């Protein structure tokens, strides 16, 4: 898809027609296919973040995962590679899930927005809203049994509440109408900045294990 877009651009042909046709043909497929949904995201211009991105970062992992991790936004490394959580925070996340005998192939990882905000700033509410349908469709397609929100931004945006993350941890929230148990972890980037808080990661993992057990995962 990206090659076709570049071809049109090089030929000087307006890509509006191409984008409209792609969206029209793929929108129904996207409801049953993550690849088709990714194709739509790759040409999205719903907000100004498309102007500064290198790649969209759709998500990655097991398409039938029982656990869906949702972060806030791609960073520099993710923008370069088009994959979620590939920088230092991503490496720490891999270590965290491995401690409960899971690999990245067992889970699915996405973000509230699919493009990197300039200078790694927090995504604005209007940018999260512009991507909200994509995230909703990802959840519908993956059908996870448990959702883990990584960090305050993801928690506040998805749950639509404004509370400190310390007040949200070790609690179960139910995302309606899907009725999926949802819990909150500290973002791995926060742990990298505050290594003394590593104990809380283990507490979060123990809580996740109990939630997984309750939901027969």
Q: How confident is the model at residue 168 (pLDDT cuts 50, 70, 90)?
A: very high
pLDDT tens-digit map of 59-115: 999 999 999 999 999 999 999 999 999 989 999 999 999 998 999 999 999 999 999
Which of these CATH numbers, 1.20.1250.20, 3.30.930.10, 3.40.470.10, 3.90.1150.10, describes 54-214? 3.40.470.10
CA angle 183, 36, 152 (to 5 degrees): 25
Residue 147 has φ and ψ, to the nearest 5°, of -115, 135
Domain range annotation of the chain = 1-43, 54-214
HSE-CB at 88 with a 13 A cutoff on CA atoms is: 5
pLDDT tens-digit map of 182-193: 999 999 999 999
According to the model, what pLDDT value does residue 58 have? 97
According to the model, what pLDDT value does residue 216 have? 76
pLDDT tens-digit map of 21-32: 555 555 555 556
According to the model, what pLDDT value does residue 177 have? 78
According to the model, what pLDDT value does residue 19 have? 55
The answer to whether the beta carbons of residues 78 and 85 sit under 8 Å apart is yes
User: Average pLDDT over the chain, rounded to whole?
Assistant: 87
According to the model, what pLDDT value does residue 118 have? 96
Residue 59 has φ and ψ, to the nearest 5°, of 150, 170
Partners of residue 174 on adjacent β-strands: 181
Whole-prediction pTM value? 0.84
């Amino acid at each position: 898809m990206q090659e076709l877009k570049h071809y049109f651009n090089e030929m000087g042909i307006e890509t509006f027609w191409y984008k409209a046709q792609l969206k029209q043909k793929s929108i129904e497929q996207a409801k049953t296919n993550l690849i088709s949904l990714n194709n739509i995201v790759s040409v999205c211009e719903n907000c100004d973040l498309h102007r500064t991105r290198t790649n969209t970062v759709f998500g990655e992992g097991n398409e039938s995962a029982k656990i869906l991790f949702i972060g806030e936004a791609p960073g520099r490394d993710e923008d370069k590679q088009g994959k979620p959580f590939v920088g230092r925070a991503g490496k720490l996340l891999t270590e965290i899930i491995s401690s409960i005998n899971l690999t990245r192939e067992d889970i699915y990882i996405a973000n509230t927005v699919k493009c990197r905000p300039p200078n790694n700033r927090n995504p604005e509410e209007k940018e999260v809203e512009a991507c909200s349908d994509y995230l909703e469709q990802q959840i519908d397609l993956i059908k996870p049994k448990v959702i883990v929100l990584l960090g305050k931004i993801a928690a506040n945006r998805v749950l639509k509440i404004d509370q400190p993350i310390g007040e949200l941890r070790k609690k179960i929230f139910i995302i309606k109408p899907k009725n999926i148990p949802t819990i909150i972890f500290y973002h791995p980037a926060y742990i990298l900045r505050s290594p003394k808080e590593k104990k809380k990661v283990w507490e979060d993992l123990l809580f996740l294990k109990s939630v997984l057990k309750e939901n027969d995962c």
